[in-house]
């Protein structure tokens, strides 16, 4: 069976097509993303018609792509992009009217849980903390002995931080301080372990982009998925120095995130510096795979 999963996020909209094998394992066949920046179309707390149109255009493009694979069914879920607006139902109804696509708006808690179950596909994560830094929110999941103790979403994301605090492409020194203060004050009340833990896992585009930058900077193998807290701190220092080397790293590794990677890195470093005892693992799987396994397959599968 083949499944098409679309994550309609605040910054990006991504479609992934998976093949679910007879033994229950899943294989990623194809992935495509569009930088939609839906959070930029929010007026007075509501997603405006232009933003809804952008979402519809991307979904219609994905529908066209699916037809090239001989598929028609597309499973779409939305995170903070539609969850944190005043006109959620209106936006969902309008998207359905224009595209025929029913959007499943998931809660912040569900998003955190899906991210955890997705990460399980390529790591043994029995006890620790998982984080997912998106464009409009950050999810934190605390796990003990394979059971979720806490799954919480916080309204700090790489794109909304950029929009709220950065006046140009890169934050100046004052804006950096404001970003750091806001991130720290938001996460200060998070229900997290009081002491550093042995296992910290990052999922999502921000974590993968930071890993890619770090692998380039430290000349690590392309397939490396581990970072130490000290390495992340060094990468954060390099990026916040706002020098040519930092710009080159970003443009070579994640040019589509040139405006959001620094706010996202600050969130990531704040979490990791507080929680990580040694190394953190960056999963290649996350909320889309978790949604597939938990919502559609009703199981936690083994990835390939």
| Dist CA 272 CA 18 (whole Å) | 31
Tell me, yes or no, whether 170 lies in a domain.
Answer: yes
At 102-139, the pLDDT tens digits run 999 999 999 999 999 999 898 888 889 999 999 999 99
CATH code, 194: 3.30.420.150
Report the pLDDT value the prediction gives residue 50, as an integer from 0 to 100: 98
Q: Say how many domains are in the chain.
A: 2
- Indicate if 15 and 141 belong to the same structural domain: no
User: In Å, what is the CA distance from 114 to each residue of 7, 139, 158, 271, 299?
Assistant: 12, 10, 20, 19, 11
User: Across residues 248-275, what is the average pLDDT?
Assistant: 94
Tell me, yes or no, whether 299 lies in a domain.
Answer: no
Burial of 44 per CB tally in 10 Å (0-12, 13-18, 19+): exposed
- Indicate if 131 and 88 belong to the same structural domain: no
- Indicate if 130 and 266 belong to the same structural domain: yes
Token pair in block for residue 24: 């229950």
- Torsion sign (Cα): 80, 84, 89, 91: negative
pLDDT: is 24 or 134 the higher one? 134
At 34-86, the pLDDT tens digits run 999 999 999 999 999 999 999 999 999 999 999 998 999 999 999 999 999 99
Where in the sequence is the domain holding 88, given as residue range(s)?
2-107
Tell me, yes or no, whether 294 lies in a domain.
Answer: no
At 173-224, the pLDDT tens digits run 999 999 999 999 998 877 677 788 889 999 999 999 999 999 999 999 989 9
């Amino acid at each position: 069976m083949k499944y098409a999963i679309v994550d309609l996020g605040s910054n990006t909209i991504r479609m992934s097509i998976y093949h679910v094998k007879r033994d229950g394992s899943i294989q990623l066949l194809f992935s495509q993303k569009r930088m939609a920046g839906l959070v930029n179309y929010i007026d007075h707390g509501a997603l405006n018609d232009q933003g809804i149109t952008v979402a519809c255009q991307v979904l219609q493009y994905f529908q066209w792509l699916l037809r090239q694979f001989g598929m028609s069914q597309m499973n779409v879920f939305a995170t903070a992009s539609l969850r944190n607006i005043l006109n959620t139902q209106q936006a969902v109804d309008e998207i359905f009217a224009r595209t025929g696509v029913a959007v499943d708006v998931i809660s912040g808690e569900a998003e955190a849980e899906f991210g955890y179950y997705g990460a399980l596909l390529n790591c043994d994560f029995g006890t620790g903390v998982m984080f997912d830094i998106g464009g409009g929110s950050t999810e934190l999941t605390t796990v003990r002995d394979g059971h979720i103790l806490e799954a919480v979403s916080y309204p700090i994301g790489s794109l909304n931080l950029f929009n709220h605090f950065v006046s140009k492409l890169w934050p100046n020194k004052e804006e950096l301080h404001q970003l750091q203060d806001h991130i720290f004050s938001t996460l200060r009340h998070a229900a997290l372990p009081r002491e550093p833990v042995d296992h910290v896992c990052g999922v999502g585009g921000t974590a993968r982009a930071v890993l890619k930058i770090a692998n380039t900077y430290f000349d690590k193998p392309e397939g490396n998925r581990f970072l130490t807290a000290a390495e992340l701190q060094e990468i954060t220092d390099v990026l916040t120095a706002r020098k040519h080397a930092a710009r080159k790293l970003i443009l070579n590794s994640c040019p589509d995130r040139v405006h959001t990677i620094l706010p996202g890195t600050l969130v990531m470093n704040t979490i990791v510096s507080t929680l990580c005892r040694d190394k953190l693992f960056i999963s290649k799987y996350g909320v889309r795979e978790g949604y597939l396994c938990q919502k559609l397959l009703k199981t936690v599968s083994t990835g390939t």
